[in-house]
Amino acid sequence: MIVSNIQIQDSPDALVVTASHGSAGAVGCLVPWLIFWAFGLVCLAIGDRSLEAIGVLAAPALVGLFLLGLIVYSVAGKDRLIVGPEGITWEREAVVTFDRRTIGRDKLRALEVKHALPQGKRRGREHWRLVIHGEDFDIRFGESLDKAELEGLLARVRARLAADGVEPGSRDTDADRADADAADANDADAGSRRRAGRRELKLKMPYEAILFGLVVGVSLVVRFSTLPPDAGGLFFQVWIAAVGLSVLAALPPYLKPWPRAVVSLVLVPDLMLLVWGSTLFAPQLLFPFMFLGGVIGAACYFWSASRRPPALLFALAAVPLSVGVWAYAVPHMRTLQHLRTLGPGELREVRIEDERNKTALVIDDRATLRAIAEQLADTSPYSPNHEGIAQPQRMTLRLDDGSTIDCKIGKGNRVNPDTVWIAFGVEDYQNASLYPTLRAQGVFDKPAPAAPPDKAK
């Protein structure tokens, strides 16, 4: 017989209960992420096949494999409970069986239907499961079922055990229930209690927030110790840190295991990239990652709450944001990093055009080019505070391989007048080391005003 998403087969040998994890909503959430993740990885791999690039792509590739595993598990994942004369066996499979536990009839202690979350973390959410208590460990089954279905399943399991001559107890006393709640509170984040007597290190703050907090601390030290002043960039970094810590401190403990895994492997790295990237890139370049992290967090929250329509809606919103990440943000990041890592002999020519005065300056002296390539490594983000680029000129860097890097440059900003303002579209940067070299070439010298006409004539 089939009840909801479980199948029960009662034969003379055993009672077999199979619960399917098949979820169209979960597949709909994950497939768009995987498609654009894979598309972006392929594009980057084709563009740069160096060992350094492959090393950078290793972590995103592992995340893509994890997403693929989640999709397979959402389609083919099953939990199976086998109740027979020898005891109770629990299996978890997705194409192959990757976990199995058995409680023998002589080690069976009690059966009950209880809330999946400890008392202090329920907040009105109704997630129940069948708990089979053994001497060494417990088996938990049916978290996707409602309470009425689980109580009916509990009755059938008890009847089968009674027919086989096994009479397990129940957690009916207040002391037993208090012990069970305390035990679940100790391992709620881990998802399952392993062995009796095992002690887990409990932290008041989720590990996701602790890891993110460490990255925040290191990134702030880097900003204050190595970067020139940038009030806008500092504000963005502190704001991302505050929001990220608040979300990671509050959200993960209330998520189911799989949504929490997505948060740990996708949202946490995204937030780390935002807070660390603010020391390397302009905030505008990081906006797609910020919005992508927001929809991922919302999708995981609704997924964990079994609210599929909003979860699917937020997951679909990740599609255009993923396009923005791979088509806009990542190529610009690579351009900036290429600019900062130019080799001494990689720069062939620098052409600077003043479009207003219709003049052009070409720098091809090898010593000057070598100095410019080294000084470009000091390019850092700058967030304009209601100001625009002064004396804008177009600079084209021509490299030995024939490629070019185009940007606009200007003289100074509100914080430091003796710096080079570098603009890539709406993304602004600053470089004080480059200013003396370009000034020595006459780049920022204002042209002499034209002589007034002689009125006597």
The predicted-structure confidence for 80-131, as pLDDT tens digits, reads as follows 888 888 888 888 887 777 778 888 888 888 888 887 665 444 444 467 788 8
pLDDT of residue 442: 82
Residues 264 and 405 in one domain: no
Q: Are residues 303 and 407 in the same domain?
A: no
> What string of DSSP letters covers 61-115?
HHHHHHHHHHHHHHHHEEEEEEEETTEEEEEEEESEEEEEEEEEGGGEEEEEEEE
Residue where one domain finishes, among candidates 202, 232, 251: 202
Are 161 and 254 members of one domain? Answer: no
217 and 197 part of one domain: no
Q: Is the residue at 43 inside a domain?
A: yes
What pLDDT score was predicted for residue 272? 94
| Reported pTM | 0.58
End-of-domain residue from the set 340, 356, 388: 340
Q: For position 303, what pLDDT does the model report? A: 83
Q: Identity (one letter) of the amino acid at 285?
A: L
The domain containing residue 65 runs over which residues?
1-202
**163 and 47 together in one domain:** yes
Q: Is 445 within a domain?
A: no
pLDDT at residue 91, as a whole number: 87
Alpha-carbon gap, residue 287 to 371, rounded angstroms = 33
Same domain, 84 and 186: yes
Rounded Cα gap, residues 223 and 230, in angstroms: 9
* 450 within domain boundaries: no
pLDDT at 218: 94
Residue 415 in any domain: the answer is yes
- 260 within domain boundaries: yes
Whether residues 186 and 252 share a domain: the answer is no
pLDDT in 10s for each residue of the chain, 457 residues: 334 567 888 888 888 888 876 665 566 666 766 676 676 666 656 655 555 555 555 656 666 677 677 777 777 778 888 888 888 888 888 777 777 888 888 888 888 888 766 544 444 446 778 888 888 888 888 776 778 888 888 888 888 888 877 777 655 444 445 555 554 554 444 444 443 333 333 446 788 899 999 999 999 999 999 888 888 888 899 999 999 998 898 888 888 888 888 899 889 999 999 999 999 998 888 888 888 898 899 888 888 877 777 888 888 888 888 877 877 888 888 888 889 988 878 889 999 998 777 888 898 888 999 999 999 999 999 887 667 787 788 999 999 888 899 999 988 877 788 889 998 888 889 999 999 998 888 887 654 344 455 444 4
Q: End of a domain among 314, 340, 366?
A: 340
Give the pLDDT confidence score for residue 32 in this predicted structure. Answer: 66
Structural domains counted in the chain: 3
The reply to whether 451 falls in a domain is no
Indicate if 159 and 222 belong to the same structural domain. no
Say whether both 64 and 133 belong to one domain: yes
Q: 402 lies in a domain?
A: yes
Domain for residue 293, yes or no? yes
Calculate the alpha carbon distances from 273 to 47, 109, 115, 252, 270 in Å. Answer: 22, 48, 37, 19, 5
305, 390: one domain: no
Residues 50, 146, single domain; the answer is: yes
Asked if 227 and 274 sit in the same domain, the reply is yes
